[in-house]
Structure 1
């Protein structure tokens, strides 16, 4: 996985066949400080992502030739660009299909430019937040609230390499400074959303992290406040399912991520 800097170059690719919407997206991204490359078809968009290595890609679903779902799947085969899928389809199944294909976010048309800008800025904040999260993981954990479940012994923590910035657990390692993940010594390619979820779980030191908290993380709301919809929670579930597949981590006998039914997720028990 490519090493990420705290202030990445702002390059974006717009894949949209409607000229008016394509020009609107380019204008919004230009105002946000991006160098923007626009494409009219899925194949052209895939080539542009491969050539320009953008940090952000906006992707329409209804494209000539191959549709946006297939474009997202092909892009995910070689790129971790943050994909915002745009569509006039507003059914939950379409959102879930988009996320399952590899999109990080889903926005229905017609959309308000201000809303898109807010999502873009939230995405950009996520480039520096993993560093802060790893730093927080290295500090003593606060005492649990009275409402939190307690155990007789403190929960085991993932191994921390203080010099290299790595968190390790059962052969899985993550480095928030370099934006790297490896599994049993082999590099693992994750989307930005999958990376953020894994970092949150591994930084939690066996504490249960609710779906609401993870949804807010994915939205860039690091104050852990704000409204969380059922759709937001389902998005977390879809991203988590994709992450589990890449980790080969079955729900019934997890090695890395344990599901706490009705609550959220936590790091699985340490195993030799």
Structure 2
């Protein structure tokens, strides 16, 4: 079944052109141009990925991303012409999964869509991995522990999975950025710190008595459920 992509873009010609490229790549594409329509549409149709413009009539893209994150972990690629917003988009405030700078080519957006969806594919063995009472569900992007389960965003999941798969190993911020952002984009250390902060908050809901991610002063972070 083809993945369904929602394009939120108020420039009608650009939105239609991007939708055509997505359809040619094998996806189902829908377009919205008014920010006020986005949240009800997402709740009703549950897309597989959203390409969300930052500047929209009706509602700002930042506000929309924040609200969507409150009820869904659907991957979000933010489109922005503001280079100074990139760190905020990727995690300092909102936790978008990727960004693309305008003006962009439709081919570049399709490539980003493919890359994000590819990261979401479950591991070949399919089943969840378990260690020390913590279960990593790669198919559902969830983590389970004694007190329940929590759903993570794509970036949070890949960050946690990197640490989880090598318990005790200290990963520097640079190494974590390389693992999460394979295209070697330039983001600040604060972006990783922000993701870790949000991740810890979610993990505390299911493991309130045991801290799973530890800070190592001057070095980075490690997973160690002890």
Q: Could you state the TM-score of these two structures normalised by the residue count of structure 1?
A: 0.71
Q: Give the 5 Å matches for 1:76-87.
A: 76-87=69-80
Report the Cα distance in structure 1 between the residues aligned to 2:179 and 2:48, rounded to whole angstroms. Answer: 18
Do the aligned residues in 1 keep the contact of 2:5 with 2:29 (CA within 8 Å)? yes
Corresponding residue to 1:131 among 102, 123, 132: 123
Report the Cα distance in structure 2 between the residues aligned to 1:38 and 1:165, rounded to whole angstroms. Answer: 35
**Secondary structure of 2:30's aligned partner:** strand
Provide the alpha-carbon RMSD of the alignment: 2.7
In the TM superposition, residue 38 of structure 1 has moved relative to its aligned partner by: 0.7
| Residue of structure 2 in register with 1:244 after alignment | 200
| Residue of structure 2 in register with 1:55 after alignment | 48
Do the aligned residues in 1 keep the contact of 2:5 with 2:27 (CA within 8 Å)? yes
Report the Cα distance in structure 2 between the residues aligned to 1:184 and 1:88, rounded to whole angstroms. Answer: 44
1:260 aligns with 2:223: no
Corresponding residue to 2:176 among 211, 214, 226: 214
Do the aligned residues in 2 keep the contact of 1:257 with 1:266 (CA within 8 Å)? yes
Do the aligned residues in 1 keep the contact of 2:120 with 2:154 (CA within 8 Å)? no
Closer/same/farther in 2, CA of residues 51 and 232 from structure 1, 3 Å limit: farther
| Residue of structure 2 in register with 1:235 after alignment | 191
| Residue of structure 2 in register with 1:116 after alignment | 109
Do the aligned residues in 2 keep the contact of 1:11 with 1:52 (CA within 8 Å)? no
Report the Cα distance in structure 2 between the residues aligned to 1:254 and 1:210, rounded to whole angstroms. Answer: 22
Higher Cα radius of gyration: 1
1:17 aligns with 2:6: no
| Residue of structure 2 in register with 1:189 after alignment | 151
Q: Which runs of 5+ in 1 are unaligned?
A: 1-7, 136-163
